[in-house]
A and B are shown apart, each in its own frame.
Chain A
């Protein structure tokens, strides 16, 4: 879902960068020193999880799990996703440095929304799966919408590509929702204090 170097116009890159800086600033401000290792190691785990390929019919898709990142980390999702994308750009050349702002915001802002969405559901243990499902699915859909806006603001003729992007991400959103729901139910069973 991350846009490569050289695609977006400088204006769009700047706006994405400013939004991401805002999120990073707030995220870093509310992180306590004792939480630093937790956020770092969870980020590594999500980085590893994004290498897992899930079969969907004849093809496969890698996990994104930005909804789950949000549910577990809240605003700290901004630094976590930002650094994850830096490593992907540096180590695998996925995404890129100039598009870091746009890509981070497109993934991390929906993650923060998942955090608030899930907190509405988490007191009712029967609705836990539903809350996590919505959080996980919403994070992919909203993220794809942000990416689409960035592409369309750059170039109107990206429209057919944006349509393809949105249609292919719909099944991915459902699967991400199911997996997020299952992970949260598992955590609830095994170590409920993780979900606070």
Chain B
């Protein structure tokens, strides 16, 4: 599994201090998610697009992500305009479509995509380990960050274990269908993965103890705030707030 495809790159946003990026992202999100006006949400989407252009992300991969993320939004477009009580209505065949419902669905779509663009350009441009490092600087409990770190590290390992068991099962002629046998096979597969993770976790803990683990990972490298980081953080937060204030 290639999980961090957007973290590779050399744009301005890739080089900005992850701490600054997390703060500007949080400011962007909290203002954008509370927007009730189509115009404001649209401006946030434009700002998200602007960040994306600076981050120079791969367009094809980006389009696939956006499509997948908009799947839930599709349901909103199906259900809300047809069932919203707000007037006025216009009719398409047997259906009454509410204009207020349509504008609500549009607003949700704009906000959702704006925040996703900000996620991709601000957070996904750092690798997971520098984000974890930044979280420690924000005084997030060390236990949570340690789990975060190991969790991420072992996703690919457990995914390989899964693929290995899956290959064995398929080699023995397993075909996935809607029946009890299929459910049993998948359940035992998950069970086997759980056993492997218990064994693996035991080994990891012993290895960590051998290396002097005391419940946290010490920070050896430190971030250094540069002028460009501060300027970016200031301007980016300012734009998020100004849009919200309708200026």
* Residue positions of A touching B, CB distance < 8 A: 3-8, 10, 13, 24, 28, 31, 33-34, 36-45, 47-49, 51-52, 54-57, 63, 65, 68, 72, 79-80, 83-84, 86-87, 89-94, 96-98, 155-161, 164, 175, 178-179, 181-183, 186-187, 190-191, 194
Contacts and interface: CB of A to CB of B under 8 A. Distances in A.
Given A48-B155, A48-B158, A57-B178, A65 B190 contact: yes
Contacts of A10: 33-34
A158 B115 contact: no
Contacts of B161: 48
B232 interface: no
Which of A37, A90, A97 has the most CB atoms of chain B within a 10 A radius of its CB? A37
Given A155-B104, A187-B194, A44 B110 contact: no
B204 A37 contact: yes
A78 to B, nearest CB: 10
Given A7-B108, A49-B193, A41 B150 contact: yes
B119 A97 contact: yes
Interface of B: 3-4, 25, 29-30, 32-34, 41, 65-66, 68-69, 72-73, 75-76, 79-80, 82-86, 101, 104, 107-116, 119-120, 123-124, 128, 141, 143-144, 146-155, 157-159, 161-162, 176-178, 180, 182-184, 186-198, 200-202, 204-205, 208, 215
A72 B205 contact: no
Shortest beta-carbon contacts, A-B, top 10: A6-B111, A182-B187, A40-B150, A186-B191, A6-B112, A161-B79, A44-B154, A93-B69, A5-B115, A38-B201
B177 A55 contact: yes
B190 A191 contact: no
Nearest to B65: A93
Contact of A98 (B3, B30, B205): B30
A72 B215 CA distance: 22
Given A83-B147, A93-B68, 12 more contacts: A4-B73, A4-B112, A6-B110, A7-B76, A45-B158, A47-B151, A55-B178, A96-B112, A161-B79, A183-B187, A186-B191, A191-B198
B3 A91 contact: yes
18 contacts: A5-B115, A6-B33, A6-B107, A6-B115, A7-B72, A7-B108, A40-B153, A40-B201, A42-B197, A42-B201, A54-B183, A54-B186, A80-B151, A91-B4, A98-B115, A161-B79, A161-B83, A186-B192
A193 to B, nearest CB: 9
Contacts of B3: 91
Given A41-B201, A52-B190, A90-B119, A98 B29 contact: yes
A183 B68 contact: no
B176 A44 contact: no
A51 B183 CA distance: 15
A54 B161 CA distance: 18
B176 A55 contact: yes
